[in-house]
Chain A
Amino acid sequence: DTEVTQTPKHLVMGMTNKKSLKCEQHMGHRAMYWYKQKAKKPPELMFVYSYEKLSINESVPSRFSPECPNSSLLNLHLHALQPEDSALYLCASSQPGRIYGYTFGSGTRLTVV
């Protein structure tokens, strides 16, 4: 299995809702990432988990809450989002070390209304 699977593919939520994005990989990668991408822009790093521990939080607002229950799963919990949070949310994984590249999922298209 060489894929990163993200669910759901599309999500519409109100500003008072609570929802979660899920990401799963079975490649044995020990680093997992959340990125946010706005239209016609490159992905922006949000969070990095390395060996199931949060190692980077790029000053992301607390309405985004990441969780890494085990080495294969990564969640992003969403609460009280704003319309400007609407974007494509991408999950990626890699193996720590110089020689490994990144594998990205197909993303979750999030719309906040």
Chain B
Amino acid sequence: KQEVTQIPAALSVPEGENLVLNCSFTDSAIYNLQWFRQDPGKGLTSLLLIQSSQREQTSGRLNASLDKSSGRSTLYIAASQPGDSATYLCAVTILQGAQKLVFGQGTRLTINP
């Protein structure tokens, strides 16, 4: 059974710092990996999608890497801002009867001004 783990569960840093969020998964048979952002009480916003054959993707201040063989992904946020405060969710797409998304527990990020 695929399990996704995110470390740390919560992180609080001062504005301007670069930071790394970690995600690990137990089964390397994934279609892709997606990082989402969720603000309190809101839906999920897709940040980056990494195909299983890719090593990394970049969007603005965000960079996500994928090492499928070791079952790990990282989300790097450069020059953090208070507006980056949110919960960040990592999810892998697997095929189990039908295509489904398996989520980690999330990292609650707080950027302090």
Q: Which residues on A are within 8 Å of B, measured CB to CB?
A: 6, 31, 33, 41-43, 45, 48, 50, 55-56, 88, 90, 92, 94, 96-107, 109
Contacts and interface: CB of A to CB of B under 8 A. Distances in A.
B99 A48 contact: yes
Interface in B38-60: 41-46, 49, 51-52
Interface stretch (B12-20, B69-77, B78-86, B103-111): B103-111
A48 B98 contact: yes
Contact of B34 (A45, A88, A101): A101
Interface residues of B, number: 25
A88 B41 contact: yes
Interface of B: 31-32, 34, 36, 41-46, 49, 51-52, 89, 91, 93, 97-101, 103-106
Nearest to A104: B44
25 contacts: A31-B99, A33-B100, A33-B101, A43-B44, A43-B103, A48-B98, A50-B98, A56-B97, A56-B98, A56-B100, A88-B41, A92-B101, A97-B31, A98-B31, A98-B51, A99-B31, A99-B51, A100-B32, A101-B46, A101-B49, A102-B46, A102-B93, A102-B101, A104-B44, A104-B46
